[in-house]
Amino acid sequence: MSFDRIAPFYRCLETIAFGNALQRARVCWIDKIPSLKRALIVGAGNGRFLCELARVHPKIGIDCIDGSERMLQLARSRLSRRQPDSLARVCFLHCDIRNWSPKSPYDLIVTHFFLDCFPEQELKEIIEKLSGAAAPGARWLIADFTLPGQGFARLHARLWLWILYVFFRASTGIAADRIVDPAASFAKNGFVRSLTKSSRLGMLKSDLYVSADHYA
């Protein structure tokens, strides 16, 4: 799986298909997380969320992981233009999350439009791995596509998701061919949904999860 081929065009493609809806979903709960020490962004993409996190939380240290070297280059370039003072506290890591091991715990984990790239078993394994990298009381932000319950909204989402999976399987080699709801895996690994918001007829969902030990 590699987004290198489409990285230069990703921002344009996203805007054509969804306007600014995906970015609004990414930053939906960014002002609801407390001041934290260390954040991990997995599937950092071209850095739009990274820049907002660096702006809203100017003291947090951030590790950005992406399997696409070109995406990381775009993210670094965007950050250097928008938040140049933040470069010193951001580490860019080019690696496959399936081969990555954490060196120290994170207060915040971010997986925006990332988990939908993996089939069910791999998704479970990735959530388990990332949960193991979470500090006590950690927050987890996730914005992603989802299937509404019924009616026109469900048909609308099914059509869009079919188009997206056909495109991304052909252009990037992702293994997934359908949306898998990660909620059960979050619960199994000790994360409780604290806030949620749907948009685009229920096709987009923004969730803030909190480690269950926060409530203990």
Cα–Cα distance, 46 to 113 (Å, whole number): 12
pTM for this model (two decimals): 0.95
Statement: residue 213 has pLDDT above 90: no
Query: Domain ranges in the chain?
Result: 7-214
| CB-count burial class (<10 Å; 0-12, 13-18, 19+) for 24 | middle
Cα–Cα distance, 75 to 44 (Å, whole number): 7
Q: Which residues pair with 124 in a beta bridge?
A: none
- Which superfamily does CATH assign the domain made up of 7-214 to? Vaccinia Virus protein VP39 (3.40.50.150)
- In this predicted model, what pLDDT tens digit does every residue of 26-45 receive, in sequence order? 999 999 998 889 999 999 99
Q: pLDDT value at position 51?
A: 97
Q: pLDDT value at position 149?
A: 86
For residue 41, CA distances in Å to 58, 92, 106, 112, 202 come to 16, 10, 10, 8, 24
- In this predicted model, what pLDDT tens digit does every residue of 158-186 receive, in sequence order? 999 999 999 999 999 999 999 999 999 99
Higher pLDDT among residues 87 and 35, named by residue: 87
Band of pLDDT at residue 117, cut at 50, 70 and 90: very high
Band of pLDDT at residue 214, cut at 50, 70 and 90: low
Nearest to 50 by CA among 137, 115, 110: 110
Average pLDDT of the residues of the chain = 94
SS3 at position 198: strand
Cα–Cα distance, 15 to 118 (Å, whole number): 23
Statement: residue 212 has pLDDT above 90: no
